[in-house]
Amino acid sequence: MGLNKRENCTHGAAKTSDNQRIQSEKAEVDLEAEMKYRFKFGRGKKVVISGNDTFETLGFKVLKGYHISPEHLFSFEFENGDMTDSASPLGPINDGMGNVSIETRIKDRKMEIGEALTLVYDYSSDWRKKVKLDGME
């Protein structure tokens, strides 16, 4: 049995509606993927990274901003007391030190502008630098 003109028109409208919904969902995913996070640290230092980047990536970029080639472990401490696991020059370490994976994507943490975290580098010297979310683009 074929569709009559009215059923065919309704069927076509439903398909168009589904296509529009799918395109809208794709646009939301693309927008989320393109979101950039701007962090401020030190005296006027800034780094902009994708929301899909991890805290490990953020740590490496902050260290680079201080002209440090990482040779020691590092992690982040958040204002609420949460901590990340450690990262090393060889990659993430599941050391059980923190309750947040160093491989967590920045966007998944749901940070707010103005929120600060502390990069802890070289645990034996306890080198600490505050990193603050300055904006989102």
Please give the Cα distance from 108 to 52 (Å, whole number).
Answer: 8
Please give the Cα distance from 36 to 23 (Å, whole number).
Answer: 22
CA atoms within 13 A on the CB side of 59: 31
Please compute the mean of the pLDDT values over residues 112-135 and round it to a whole number. 96
Q: Which residue has the higher pLDDT, 14 or 78?
A: 78
Q: Is the pLDDT of residue 2 over 60?
A: no
Quick one: pLDDT band at residue 39, thresholds 50, 70, 90?
A: very high
Please compute the mean of the pLDDT values over residues 20-34 and round it to a whole number. 59
Sheet harboring 91-93: ordered strands across? 45-50, 36-41, 127-136, 116-121, 74-78, 86-88, 91-93
DSSP labels, the chain: ----HHHHHHHHHHHHHHHHHHHHHHHHHHHHHH-EEEEEETTTEEEEEETTSBHHHHHHHHHHHTT----S-EEEEETTS-BBPEEETTEEE--S--SB-TT-BGGGG---TT-EEEEEE-TTTTEEEEEEEEEE-
Tell me the per-residue pLDDT of 64-122, one tens digit each, with 9 for 90 and over: 999 999 999 999 999 999 999 999 988 888 787 788 999 999 999 999 999 999 999 99
